[in-house]
Structure formats: structure tokens, C-alpha cells
């Protein structure tokens, strides 16, 4: 996932238990600073809370906000780009499907989900 240079706020929904985020810039002599936070604390984070981007990182919590901007010595920072990531997993599968049982007799059922989901 690359945060586009156009700026703004965007919500991205991903169907996976985790997501690896990569940040890129094409500017010569530029670097990226970023912050990762949850919706309740992100608005209270100061400019000093940005850290230098050194490589891809994983998001494992839904509602995570990533904010990034490009910097270059001697120039003003680029516009902050913000993305909110919503991680969704598949619904559990019941075997046999509950609607087919009628619930009239004892039932043995199994429930399964995507590997790694909790």
C-alpha cells in the first residue's frame, strides 16, 4: 500500500487478519515521516510524534490510522496524507448450516474460521 502524494483522508477496508503497509516517495533527497494511532488518540498527537520511516510495518488492529508526509532538508514538509484501515475477517462457517437443523434434536456442529483470526 502506498500513500498517494495527493493528500487528503481516505478509508481503506481490507479483508485480512493483518496488513503490511509500505510508504514510498519519488522525490530525490526526500524522506518520509509517519505516525500510527487509533481514532481516539490521533488528533492529540503533536508534530514531534512523527517517526522516520525505515521500512514496511504491519497493522493488526481495525480502525488504525496512518498519517505520513514527505520531508526534505531546507524545505517545508509536504502535505500530510492520512489513511484509516479497517481490517475485516470472514464470518465463521457453521457445518451443518444452522438454518437446516430445525433445533429439534441434539446437534453436533463445528465452527471454523480463517487461519490466524481471533
**Do the domain assignments include residue 1?**
no
Q: Is residue 3 part of a domain?
A: no
Q: Which of 40, 34, 31 is nearest to 61 (CA)?
A: 40
Establish if 50 belongs to a structural domain.
yes
3-state secondary structure the chain: CCCCCCCEEEEEEEECCCEEECCCCCCCCCEEEEEEECCCCHHHCCHHHCEECCCCEEECCCCEEEEEEEECCCCCCCCCEEEEEEEECCCCEEECCHHHCCCCCCCCCEEECCCCCC
Question: Is 47 domain-assigned?
Answer: yes
Over residues 32-74, the pLDDT tens digits come to: 888 888 777 766 556 567 889 898 888 887 778 888 888 888 8
Q: What is the CATH number of the domain that holds 49?
A: 2.60.40
Residue 111 belongs to a domain: no
pTM, entire model: 0.60
> Is residue 12 very low, low, confident or very high in pLDDT (cuts 50, 70, 90)?
low
What is the span of the domain harbouring residue 57? 8-90
Amino acid at each position: 500500500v502506498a500513500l498517494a502524494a495527493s493528500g487528503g483522508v481516505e478509508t481503506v477496508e481490507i479483508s485480512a487478519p493483518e496488513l503490511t503497509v509500505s510508504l514510498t516517495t519519488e522525490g530525490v533527497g526526500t524522506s518520509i515521516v509517519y505516525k500510527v494511532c487509533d481514532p481516539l488518540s490521533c488528533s492529540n498527537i503533536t508534530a514531534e510524534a512523527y517517526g522516520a520511516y525505515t521500512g514496511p510495518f504491519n497493522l493488526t488492529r481495525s480502525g488504525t490510522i496512518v498519517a505520513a508526509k514527505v520531508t526534505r532538508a531546507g524545505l517545508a514538509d509536504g502535505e500530510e496524507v492520512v489513511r484509516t484501515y479497517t481490517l475485516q475477517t470472514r464470518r465463521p462457517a457453521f457445518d451443518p448450516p444452522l438454518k437446516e437443523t430445525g433445533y429439534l434434536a441434539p446437534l453436533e456442529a463445528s465452527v471454523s474460521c480463517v487461519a490466524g483470526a481471533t
